[in-house]
Structure 1
Amino acid sequence: MNLRQNAEYMNALVLEVRGVPGSGMDSIAEFKNPSLLGVGTDWQDEIYRRGFTQSHQLGFSGGTEKTQFYFSGGYLNQEGTLIKTGFKRITLRANIDHQATKWLKTGITANLSRTNQQIGLSDGFDAVTSTVLYNSPVTPVKDVFGNYISTNVIGGSTFGNPNNPVALAMLRDVSNQSSKAFGTVYADLNIIDGLTIRSEGNFDFNLSSDRAFQPYVQNAETKAVILSPARLREQRNNSLYWAIKNYANYNKAFGKHNIAATVGHEAQRSKYDFINANRDNLVLNIPNLNAGDAGDTQGIGAGAATWSMESVFARLNYNYDNRYAISGTIRRDGSSNFGPGHKWGTFPAVSASWTASNESFLKDNKYVNYLKLRFGYGEVGGQDA
C-alpha cells in the first residue's frame, strides 16, 4: 500500500482501539487527513527496474581448396531487473581445418570467453528482495541531505526497516569474473580403404574470481548505522581438464557381409583448486584483506582435487544382409577414484539381434513395419560410485 492508504489503515486501527472503554489513543497528527498525503515511497519500484539485453556478433569465414577457417567474436550485455545487477560476456572463436595431404587432415577449434557478473543478494534475512517486503512507504530512501536512512520517526512513532533495501543493493559490491578457454586439436589419417585413424586432444581451462564487499556506512546527520560491519570476502578458483584420444575405425562390406571394428585409447585428467579468505572491520572501508582486524574477524580456507583416468577399448560389429547382427565390446578402465587394489576394471558386453521385418515373409506385411529382436549382456562401472 502507498502512504495515503497506509495512513487510512492506521487511522482505522485507531478507531477500533478507541472503541475500547478507557482508551485515549489518537491518530498521528500528520496522518489525520490522508487526502493531503502523497504516495510515499514505493520500495518495489525503488529496487526493481526494466531489464534489457543487447547482443552483438561478428563472424567471417573463408579458405582455399585445402584450408578452411572461421573466426567470430561476440559481446553480450544484460542489465538485470534488480538494481545494480548485470552480466557481460565477451567471446572469441576460431576454427581451422587443413587437408595437409590426401591421407592427412588436421584442425583446431578454440573458444575463449570472459564474463563479468554483478550479483544482487536475493537470499537471506538481509537480502534486498527480503527486506523490501518489510519496509514502510512512510520512510524515504534518503534524507534531505542525500544520506541513506534506515527508519523514520513521525509523531513519536518509528516507521521503516533498519535495513534500507536500496542501500543494501547500491552500497554492496558482489561480483564474479570468469575467464574460460576450451578447444580441440585433431588429426585424421586415411591410410587404406576402410581404415581411419584419429588422434585428438581436448582442453578446458577455467579461472574465476568471486568478491563480496560491504562498507561501513553511517548517516552523517543522525549517526544511524546503515551498513555494518565493513567486510570483504574473496575466492579464487582454478580448474584444468585435458584429454588425449586415439582410435582407429575399420568399416568394410563384402557382399552381404558388413564388418565394423574400433580400437582405441583414452587418457584424461582433471585438476581443481580454490582458496578463499574473509575479513571484517576493514579500516577506512579499504577493500583489502590486509586492512582489517585479525582474530575472530578473519578466516581462510582452501581445497584441491585431482582425478585421472585411462582407458583402452575395442568393439566389433558384424551384420549379415541387414538381418542378423552380433556385437562385442570390451573396455578396461583405470581410475584414480577406484579403491586401493582395484584401480582397474574390465567391462565386457555382447549382443545379438535379428531384424525380422527384413525377412522375405514379413517385407510386405501391412501390419508390421519394423520388428527387431535383440539380446544382450554387459557390465558397466562408474568412477564416482
Structure 2
Amino acid sequence: MAQQHQKVTVVVSDNAGELIGANVLVKGTTNGNVTDIDGRVVLQDVPANAVLEISFIGYKTKEVPVKGQNLIRVTLSEDSETLDEVVVVGYGTMEKKQVTSAVTSLSANDMMKGVGGADITTSLQGKISGLLLQNNGSANAGTTIQLRGMTSINAGRSPLIVIDGFPGGDIRSINLDDVKSIDVLKDASAGAIYGTRAASGVILITTKSGSNTNGKAKLTYSTELSKKQDYGKPEMLSADEYRAHNVGIDYGDDVDWWEELINDNNFSQKHNLTLELGTENAQIFTSFFYQKNEGIAIDDSRQDYGGRINANFKLFDGWLEIRPNVDYRQAWRNNNWPNFQQALRNNPTRSPYDPDSESGYNVWTGETLDYNVLANSALYDYEGLDKWFKPEVSLKLNVKAIPGLSYTQTIGYESRQWELHQFRSRYHLDEVNNSRTGWAKLEFSKTENLTSEGYATYVKELEGGHSLNAVAGYSYFENNGENFYAENYNFDVEGIRFWDIGKGSYLSDGKAGMGSGKNITERLFALYARANYSYNDKYMVTATIRHEGSSKFSAQNRWGNFWALSGGWRISNEKFMEKADWVNDLKLRFGYGVTGNNDFSSSFMANVLGSDAYWMLPNGTWAYSYGKTQNINENLGWEEKKEWNIGLDFSFFDNRLYGKFDYYRRKIDNMIYEVKVPQPPFTQGTQWQNIGAMESKGWEFEIGGDIIRNKDFVWTSKVNLAHNTGKILTLWGNNTYYNGNSFPTPGTPGDAARMEEGSTIGSFYLWKFAGFDDDGNFLLYNKEGEVIPAAEKTEADKQYIGNYVPKIMLGWNNSFMYKNFDLSINMRSWIKFDVYNMINMYFGIQGIDECNVLKEAYGKFNHIRGEKQICDYYLEDGTFLKIDAISLGYSLSLKEYSKWLDKLRIYATVGNVGMFTKYSGVNPEVDIAGWDKGTERFDGLYPLVRTYTLGLQISF
C-alpha cells in the first residue's frame, strides 16, 4: 500500500516559552526547517509513521513520532553538561557519569575559529584548566604544550597526542574543521593505560566521521580571510634622538629598523570543503583544505593543503565494522623571518638600501653587533616542505552472540618527510666576510611510525543496577628515521640557487659537505587491561594495568608495570539527598596511578660508534678509527610519575550551574640526567643515569553557568583556574647543581637559574640589587647581607629570588546568543608571577658600542652608567589580563529560499585583541615551560600580532 503523507505543524517551546530557530527534521531525510518567531514550523509531505527530530543549541534533542498527527507540540529541556554525554578515554568511551578520573572534554563548538595560528592549539587557548599552550605568533611557530606543570627535566614534557585512537600523533597535522571533540586525560589514573607515554598527560582528538544522510550528499564550504597587525614594539631612539644624544656615527638617514622588518601587506586565507554521505550501513566523510598564512614579519609564510577521508562500513548484519581513515597534509614553509633583536640594535641613521649595489642593499662588514638584518633576510632563501601521510584502518568485530562483547584491531602507518632548501647570495654578509660567491644546502629527513593495537571490549548492564565496562589488549609501536644533506659553495650563476648544487667550486676542491644518518629503531610493546564497575551510577571503581617494554633500555631493564586505581561516589544519588532537588549531580572522585616517561632519545642506551680519532694502519697510512662515543649504562631505567588526584564534580539548579574541582600531587622518581664519570674506567666523561626526584602539586577549578537563557537570549559563562608548584627533591650528589638561563654578551655573561636539591621550580638565581653608587654603578648584597660594589661580587653571593610560575592561571570564556546572532569573548590571565626583563637590561643602558637603545635609557634609566648586572633590579611582576579573541557571528537558515541550500553563517573575529598589564616590557607572557625560563629575551624576539578575520560557512 502507498504510504500516506501529510502536512504537519510543529510548535517548539521550553519552560520559558516558544523557541525561535529550533531545528525540526524528519529523521533520516533532509526534509526540515527551523521554527519562526512563534516557535512554529510547517513541514509538507511528512509520512504518517515518520519520526521527527527536534534540536536546539543548549537543549536535549528529542525524537517524536508523528502517528498521523497534524499538530504536534514539543517541549525541550535544557542540556547543560548532561551526564549522558560520552567521554573518550583510553581505548574506548565511557559515559561521563561513570568517569572516575580527571578528564576535561571539549566539542568542536567550544573552539573558536578565526583566531589565526598554524595549528589547532590557538583555538584551545584558555579552554582547559592546567593546560599551557605557547608560541611566538609566527606563521611557522610550533606550540609548546605542557599539562599540570613540568613532569621531567631531560625527558619530554609534552602530553601524548592520540588521534582517532592512534597514539603518537602530531597535533600540527590536524585541520580545525575536521575536529569533532577533544578529551584531555589529566591525571595518572586516567592516563596509565597508555603507560610510558602518559607521564605528561594525554590529549585525545576525535575527528568527524560520516552519518546517515539517507543517501543524500551534504556539502559544506567555509572560508576565512585574515589580516595581521603588529603592536607593542619597543620604543627605541629615533634617528633624530640618536643624533641628539651623540650615540654613534651619523650616516644621515632616518630608519625605523623594526618597521623595515614588518610585512604590512600580509594577507592570509583558508578554504575548506567537506562532503558527507551515508546510509545506515555505510558512511563517509571527506574534507579538503587550502591555507595560505602570511606572518607579520617579512619572509615568514606558509602554504598548507591536504585532505581527509573517514569512512565507516557495517557488514554481515552489523557483525563487522570497518573504519578506514586516510589523512594527508603538506606544508610549504618560508621560515626565514629576520632577527628582531637586530632591529633594536641597529643605528637608525644608517639605511639598509644602496641603489648603487648590485643587490640593492647596503651590506657593511667589520661590526659584530650592527649589521644589515634586512639584507641578510632578503639575500637568504629558505624553503621547507613538510609532508604527513597517515593511512589507518580499524576493524571491529561485534560478537552478537554475546551482547556487549567486541574486538577491535587497528593498524596505522604514518610517514613524515621534511625537505629543506637553502641558498645564500654572494652578496650576503656571511659570503662577503668569507670571500665566497654563494652557498647552497639541501636536506632531507624521513620518519616512519607503525602502530598496531588490538583490544577486546565488554560492556554490560546487569540486573540490580550493576554495570561493567572492561577492555584488554595489546599495543605495538615502531619508529624509524633517516636523513641526509649536501652543501656546496662558490657558484658562478646565482639564479639557479640550490638546483645545480654540484656546480659549486668547493666540490671540485674537496671542501663540499655531505652527510647521512639513520635513526636508531624505537619499539614499544605492551599488554594492558582496564575494568570499570558501577552500581546504580552511585558507586564506581576503575582499575588499570599496563605491562610495557621499550627498546630504549637494556634487555635486563626493559620492562615496566604501570597501573592505576580510581573510584567515584555519586553523593547526589544517596537517599539523604532526595530533598535537595536543586542538586542534579554531585560526585566525589579519587585516583592514584603510576606512569612512565619514554620521551627521550633512543641513543641514551645505544652502542654508538663514531670516527673520533686517527690511528696508524699496518701499512703506515693514517685512517679514522671507529670507537664508542658514549658510555652505556645497563642499569638505566624508567622515569616514573606517581600521582594521586581527588576531585569533585557538581551540577546544580537544573544543570544551570556546573563544574569541577581537582587537587593533585605527583612525584617523579628516577629522573634521567647526564652526569660526570671518571676516565678511566669509562671511555667518555659522562653517562646517563637515574639520579633524582622531583615533586609537584596543584589544584584546578572549573565552573560554568547559563546565566541567562530564554527564547531570545542566552548567556553562558565558563571560568577555569589552575595553580601548580614544583621542587627538586634530590640530585645525584652532595653540592650538585645545574645552571641555566644563560645571558649573552655584550657585558658580563652568566646564568639566571640554578637547579639543586630543594630548589623550587621557577625560581630565579640572581644577585640581590642594593642600589647605585654616585657614579651610577650597581651595588649588590653579598651572601652575608652586606652591600658591595658589583665588581666585588662572587657566584656564591647569588640567591633565589622571585618565581616565574604564575600563582593562578585563569581562563574566562563567554558566549552570547540573541536570535540569530552570536558573540564569543575569550580571556586569559596569569596572576602573580615574575618576569626578568632582559630587553630593559640590555637596551636600557647608554653607550654600548654605538648600538641603539631604548628611549628610557635617557629617561627612566638615565642614572645607570655601570655594567649591567644579573640582579632583581630587572625583575618585574608580569600579571596580565589578555583578551584572546572576540568573535561576532550571524546564522541564517536558507531552506525556505532554496531547495539546494541549508544554512549560512558569517562571522568576524579579532584574535589577540589586547592586554592589560603593568609590565614595562613587550610581552609578559614569556616561556615558562621548563626549569630555566621566565625571561623576556631579545634573542628570538617576534612582534606581537593582532589578527582580523572574516569568515563564511555555507551548507548545501
Q: What residue is the counterpart of 1:381 in the other structure?
A: 596
Distance 1:147 1:346, change over 3 A: closer
Q: What residue is the counterpart of 2:362 in the other structure?
A: 150
Q: What residue is the counterpart of 1:208 in the other structure?
A: 418
Q: What residue is the counterpart of 1:180 in the other structure?
A: 388
Q: What residue is the counterpart of 2:262 in the other structure?
A: 48
Structure 1 CA distance, aligned partners of 2:321 and 2:448? Answer: 27
Distance 1:226 1:296, change over 3 A: closer
Q: What residue is the counterpart of 1:315 in the other structure?
A: 530
The correspondence of residues 106-255 of structure 1 with structure 2, limited to 5 A, is: 106-123=322-339, 130=342, 133-137=345-349, 139=351, 141-144=353-356, 147-150=359-362, 163-192=371-400, 193-217=403-427, 225=432, 229=436, 230-255=438-463
Between 189-198 and 43-52, report the one with greater CA deviation. Answer: 43-52
Structure 2 CA distance, aligned partners of 1:352 and 1:182? Answer: 37
Between 308-317 and 43-52, report the one with greater CA deviation. Answer: 43-52
Q: What residue is the counterpart of 2:550 in the other structure?
A: 335
Contact kept, 8 Å, 2:399 with 2:406, in 1: the verdict is yes
Instruction: Quote how far apart the aligned CAs of 1:380 are.
Output: 3.5
Structure 2 CA distance, aligned partners of 1:140 and 1:373? Answer: 63
Contact kept, 8 Å, 2:528 with 2:547, in 1: the verdict is yes
For 2:321, which of 94, 97, 105 is the aligned residue? 105
Structure 2 CA distance, aligned partners of 1:53 and 1:118? Answer: 14
Structure 2 CA distance, aligned partners of 1:371 and 1:284? Answer: 73
Between 59-68 and 350-359, report the one with greater CA deviation. Answer: 350-359
Amino acid in structure 2 at the alignment position of 1:47: L
Contact kept, 8 Å, 2:418 with 2:444, in 1: the verdict is yes
Distance 1:366 1:100, change over 3 A: closer
Q: Any unmatched runs of 5+ in structure 2?
A: 1-236, 600-638, 640-956
Structure 2 CA distance, aligned partners of 1:233 and 1:168? Answer: 17
Q: What residue is the counterpart of 1:155 in the other structure?
A: none
The correspondence of residues 49-128 of structure 1 with structure 2, limited to 5 A, is: 49-50=263-264, 51-102=266-317, 103-123=319-339
Structure 2 CA distance, aligned partners of 1:314 and 1:91? Answer: 36
Structure 2 CA distance, aligned partners of 1:218 and 1:104? Answer: 63
Q: What residue is the counterpart of 1:36 in the other structure?
A: none
Q: What residue is the counterpart of 2:559 in the other structure?
A: 344
Instruction: Quote how far apart the aligned CAs of 1:136 are.
Output: 4.5
* 1:255-280 Cα distance to aligned partner (Å, 9 max, x none): 22222221212111111222234334
Structure 2 CA distance, aligned partners of 1:240 and 1:147? Answer: 42
Q: Any unmatched runs of 5+ in structure 1?
A: 15-26, 32-38, 153-158
* 1:187-218 Cα distance to aligned partner (Å, 9 max, x none): 22222211122111222211011222112129
Bigger RCO of structures 1 and 2 (CA < 8 A, at least 6 apart)? 2
2:468 is equivalent to residue 259 of structure 1 = yes
Structure 2 CA distance, aligned partners of 1:53 and 1:113? Answer: 18
Instruction: Quote how far apart the aligned CAs of 1:351 are.
Output: 4.9
SS of the aligned residue for 1:341 comes to helix
2:485 is equivalent to residue 276 of structure 1 = yes
Contact kept, 8 Å, 2:363 with 2:375, in 1: the verdict is no
TM-score w.r.t. the length of structure 1 is 0.75
Contact kept, 8 Å, 2:362 with 2:375, in 1: the verdict is no
Distance 1:145 1:101, change over 3 A: same
Amino acid in structure 2 at the alignment position of 1:89: D
Structure 2 CA distance, aligned partners of 1:366 and 1:52? Answer: 55
Distance 1:78 1:265, change over 3 A: same
Distance 1:340 1:140, change over 3 A: closer
Distance 1:296 1:121, change over 3 A: farther
Contact kept, 8 Å, 1:276 with 1:302, in 2: the verdict is no
Contact kept, 8 Å, 2:391 with 2:414, in 1: the verdict is yes
Contact kept, 8 Å, 1:217 with 1:226, in 2: the verdict is no
Report % sequence identity.
Answer: 22
Instruction: Quote how far apart the aligned CAs of 1:296 are.
Output: 5.8
Distance 1:65 1:366, change over 3 A: closer
Instruction: Quote how far apart the aligned CAs of 1:301 are.
Output: 5.4
Instruction: Quote how far apart the aligned CAs of 1:383 are.
Output: 3.2
Contact kept, 8 Å, 1:62 with 1:69, in 2: the verdict is yes
Structure 1 CA distance, aligned partners of 2:308 and 2:587? Answer: 45
Amino acid in structure 2 at the alignment position of 1:110: V
Structure 1 CA distance, aligned partners of 2:294 and 2:587? Answer: 55
Instruction: Quote how far apart the aligned CAs of 1:81 are.
Output: 2.9
TM-score w.r.t. the length of structure 2 is 0.33
SS of the aligned residue for 1:150 comes to coil
Instruction: Quote how far apart the aligned CAs of 1:132 are.
Output: 7.4
Instruction: Quote how far apart the aligned CAs of 1:86 are.
Output: 1.7
Which is greater in Rg? Answer: 1
